[in-house]
Amino acid sequence: MSITLNSPLDMHLHLRDEEMLQTVAPLSSSTFSGAIIMPNLVPPISTKEALDEYKNRIKMAIGEDTFTPYMTLFFKPTYTKEFLESMGDELIAIKLYPAGITTNSEGGVNGFEVEELRPTLTAMSELGIPLCIHGETNGFVMDREAEFVSIYEMLATNFPKLKIIMEHITTKESVEALDRFPNLYATITLHHLLITLDDVAGGMLQPHLFCKPIAKRPEDREALRKIALEGHPKVMFGSDSAPHPQHAKESCGCAAGVFTSPIAIQVLTELFMKHSNLQKLQAFVSDNAKRIYKNIKVPKKTIILEKKPFIVPQKYGTVVPMYAGEELAYSII
C-alpha cells in the first residue's frame, strides 16, 4: 500500500547559512512544499535587506526543487507599522525569543511588558502578521514552558486579533491553553511526539536528542500525541529541525537542537499508521497550516511513501540526524 501526502509543510525550520545551508536546505526542499524559516542567524534577520538576501541564498541552495521559504523576522519591540508594511508579501511571520533562552537568541525580549510590546503587536494584528513565540521563561528547565503559559494568556487577551503560535510545544499545560483562547495556535515537532526526558538523559546522555525546550514527561508526550494524531485544527507540524555540526553536539557544552528534516515525514507516517490515524496526517502536515497561515501560497507537490526500509545515514555533511544508522519502516519513493 502506498501513502500519498499533498504539499507537506514544515512550519518551524532552521536552515542556517553558508555551508550548513547548502547541506540541509535540499533535505527539506526535496520533501516539503514550503517551510517557515527561523530568523536566528548571527546576526538575526531584522531588516528587509537581510530577509531578501537570505531568501535568495535559500533559493540558490535548493536549486530546482518546488519549495517556498516562508520568511520571518526576529521580533523587536521597535518595529513600526510603516517598517512592517515596507516588508511587503515576503514577510510571513515574526518570531519572538525571550532573550538568551536558546541558540542565537541574545537579542530577544527582556521581560514581557505589555505597553512596551503594544505598538509592534498592534501593527502586526492590523497587518495580519502571525507572531511565533519560543515560550519559555528562565525558570527551572522542566517548568519553563508551563510557566510561560501565563504570558501566552496575557498576550492572547491583550491582542485578540493577533494570531499567536506557540512554537514547539512540549507540555500538557500548553495543550490545555490552546483551547482556552481562539487566537492561540501551536506547532509540534517530530521528536517531542516520540521522546521524553528519559530518552535524553535517563541512560547515557544523548546529545543528538538535546534541544530547547527539553523533552518532558510521558504524560506531556501523551497530550501532544493526542492532539497531533486527531489532527486538531489549531495544531501544525513544525519540525524545529535544528542542525549543529557534530563537534558542537558531541562536546562539553552541547548545543541545543535535533536534526530531523530528512526523516520527519517517514517517521510521522509510521507513527500515524501505528495509531490507525493516517487519515489525519494530511491535516497535521499541511491542511491546518494552510488554514491558519492565511498569508502563505503553497505550491502543489505530491509525496508518496511505501512500507520499505530506509536506513538513516550516519551523517549529512557534518550533522548527525536523529535515528542515525537506524532502520525506518517507511521510505519516500
Q: Among residue numbers 26 through 45, which ones bind ligand NCD (CB under 6 A)?
A: 40
Interface with ligand NCD, residue 120, by CB under 6 A: no
Asked if residue 24 lies in contact with residue 316, where contact means CB atoms within 8 angstroms, the answer is yes
Q: How far apart are CA 330 and CA 333, in angstroms?
A: 9
Q: Among residue numbers 213 through 242, which ones bind Zn ion (CB under 5 A)?
A: 240
Taking CB under 6 A as the rule, which mask of x and - marks residues 121-160 in contact with ligand NCD?
A: -------------x--------------------------
- Residues that bind ligand NCD (rule: CB under 6 A) add up to a total of 11
Could you tell me the CA-to-CA distances from 50 to 40, 54, 56, 72, 277 in Å, in that order?
12, 6, 10, 11, 41
Q: How far apart are CA 190 and CA 170, in angstroms?
A: 11
Q: How far apart are CA 115 and CA 16, in angstroms?
A: 33
CA nearest to 250, candidates 212, 207, 210? 207
Using CB distances below 5 to 8 A depending on partner kind, what does residue 135 bind out of ligand NCD, Zn ion, none?
Answer: none
Interface with ligand NCD, residue 260, by CB under 6 A: no
Per DSSP (E only), the strands in 149-298 are 164-166, 184-188, 235-237
Which residue type is seen at 236?
M
Cβ closest to Zn ion, residue 33 vs residue 104: 104
Interface with ligand NCD, residue 257, by CB under 6 A: yes
Q: Dihedral sign, CA of 85, 88, 93, 95?
A: negative
Q: Among residue numbers 239 through 298, which ones bind Zn ion (CB under 5 A)?
A: 240
Rounded (10°) angle between helices 218-229 and 264-274: 90
Interface with Zn ion, residue 136, by CB under 5 A: no
Interface with ligand NCD, residue 234, by CB under 6 A: no
Using CB distances below 5 to 8 A depending on partner kind, what does residue 102 bind out of Zn ion, ligand NCD, none?
Answer: ligand NCD
Q: How far apart are CA 139 and CA 159, in angstroms?
A: 25
User: C-alpha grid cell for residue 166?
Assistant: 506557540
Annotation says 179 is catalytic: no
Using CB distances below 5 to 8 A depending on partner kind, what does residue 257 bind out of ligand NCD, Zn ion, none?
Answer: ligand NCD
Taking CB under 6 A as the rule, which mask of x and - marks residues 85-104 in contact with ligand NCD?
A: -----------------xx-
Using CB distances below 5 to 8 A depending on partner kind, what does residue 189 bind out of ligand NCD, Zn ion, none?
Answer: none
Q: Which residues are catalytic?
A: 240
